[in-house]
């Protein structure tokens, strides 16, 4: 029976504008179609390399206290990278190049890796939803200056932070067993295509570690070091640095002893933090959908 093409979230094929050095915001898409072979000079591959290089620079910036806006910028850039890869995988020439038997093992391994990304980000979205619910309850307790309930909800927030932290070693293991492409003559383009996809995997891991690790080391509403945290005996060498600044600016201790003005300041900061959580959730959701689209496009390389 002939294989059916798998569908995904549809969007138009587009090539983003050349990278700008005057703005950190993701570039808007310029809708142009190309039928040339996906070789070294192909604009999508060049665009992907530029976007990957920018994300590598992004991940090395703000090594101290990081902001939620910085996280969202990274997620938006990651979404753009996966959209460019999705555009590349939609080209018939790309699918024809990668459909050979010697590459099927690599594509299948990539499918497994991207499925793991999808699963991990799906779990993250669930945890963020729980975070929002617990956070709303915490805000009510703060307004009432109910120290007992604040302590209870803070404990729940800490549990969610720990669960988000456990996603770090999971995502770090993605791509470790990807086989190298077979040796080919220098004029063949398939090895470069695999190399580009592998680079996308690595930069996705980098952004994900910054996201999960940053939130997990910041969301506890108790005093703690921002120098990093470990994740159990099996991953005791895995450390994440870079707390999220907005989560570190709130002190919920001894609310009953605080004056009305102090409580108002805490409440205001919590409202601002709630906006940050909502923004992170939205950026994470869009990155999640781009990961799904990329995996579907890879699956179509084998099945279409």
Q: Is residue 222 part of a domain?
A: yes
Q: Is residue 20 part of a domain?
A: no
Q: Is residue 21 part of a domain?
A: no
Helices 43-59 and 68-90 pack at an angle, to 10 degrees, of 160
Q: Which residues pair with 244 in a beta bridge?
A: 66
Q: Is residue 238 part of a domain?
A: yes
For residue 138, is it left (φ>0), alpha (ψ between -120 and 50) or beta? alpha
Please report the pLDDT score of residue 86 as a whole number. Answer: 94
Length reported for the chain = 304
Question: Measured between alpha carbons, how far is 271 from 144 in angstroms, rounded to an integer?
Answer: 15
Please report the pLDDT score of residue 100 as a whole number. Answer: 64
Domain housing 140: 63-181+201-303
Please report the pLDDT score of residue 179 as a whole number. Answer: 57
203, 139 contact by CB (below 8 A)? no
Q: How many domains does the chain have?
A: 1
Q: Is residue 56 part of a domain?
A: no
Q: Is residue 50 part of a domain?
A: no
Q: Global pTM? A: 0.76
Q: Is residue 264 part of a domain?
A: yes
Nearest to 78 by CA among 129, 121, 20: 121
Q: Which two tokens stand for residue 234?
A: 């099996």
Which value, in Å, is the radius of gyration of the alpha carbons in the chain? 22
Please report the pLDDT score of residue 122 as a whole number. Answer: 96
Please report the pLDDT score of residue 38 as a whole number. Answer: 45
For residue 254, is it left (φ>0), alpha (ψ between -120 and 50) or beta? left
Q: Is residue 155 part of a domain?
A: yes
DSSP state of 23: -
Q: Which two tokens stand for residue 239?
A: 């450390």
For the chain, 304 residues long, the average pLDDT of each consecutive 10-residue run is 47 45 44 42 84 90 77 96 94 79 78 93 95 89 87 90 94 75 50 84 94 82 38 38 75 74 84 90 96 92 78
Helices 190-216 and 68-90 pack at an angle, to 10 degrees, of 160
Contacts of 94 (CB under 8 A, 6+ apart): 38, 88, 193, 301
Question: Measured between alpha carbons, how far is 272 from 265 in angstroms, rounded to an integer?
Answer: 11
Please report the pLDDT score of residue 219 as a whole number. Answer: 65
Contacts of 125 (CB under 8 A, 6+ apart): 281, 284, 285, 288
């Amino acid at each position: 029976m002939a294989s059916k093409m798998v569908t995904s979230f549809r969007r138009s094929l587009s090539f983003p504008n050349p990278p700008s050095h005057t703005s950190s915001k993701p570039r808007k898409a310029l809708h142009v179609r190309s039928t040339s072979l996906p070789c070294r000079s192909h604009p999508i591959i060049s665009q992907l390399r530029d976007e990957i290089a920018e994300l590598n620079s992004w991940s090395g910036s703000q090594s101290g206290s990081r902001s939620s806006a910085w996280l969202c910028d990274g997620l938006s850039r990651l979404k753009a990278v996966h959209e460019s890869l999705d555009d590349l995988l939609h080209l018939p020439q790309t699918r024809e190049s990668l459909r050979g038997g010697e590459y099927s093992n690599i594509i299948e391994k990539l499918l497994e890796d991207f499925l793991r990304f999808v699963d991990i980000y799906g779990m993250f979205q669930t945890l963020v939803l729980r975070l929002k619910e617990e956070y709303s309850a915490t805000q009510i307790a703060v307004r009432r200056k109910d120290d007992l309930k604040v302590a209870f909800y803070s404990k729940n927030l800490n549990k969610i932070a720990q669960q988000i932290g456990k996603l770090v070693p999971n995502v770090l293991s993605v791509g470790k067993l990807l086989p190298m492409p077979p040796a080919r003559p220098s004029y063949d383009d398939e090895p470069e295509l695999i190399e580009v996809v592998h680079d996308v995997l690595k930069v996705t891991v980098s952004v994900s570690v910054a996201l999960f690790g940053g939130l997990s080391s910041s969301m506890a509403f108790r005093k703690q070091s921002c120098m990093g945290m470990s994740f159990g005996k099996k991953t005791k060498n895995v450390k994440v640095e870079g707390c999220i600044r907005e989560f570190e600016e709130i002190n919920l201790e001894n609310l009953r002893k605080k004056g009305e003005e102090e409580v108002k300041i805490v409440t205001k900061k919590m409202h601002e933090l709630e906006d940050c959580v909502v923004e992170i959730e939205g950026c994470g959701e869009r990155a999640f959908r781009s990961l799904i689209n990329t995996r579907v496009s890879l699956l179509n390389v084998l099945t279409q």
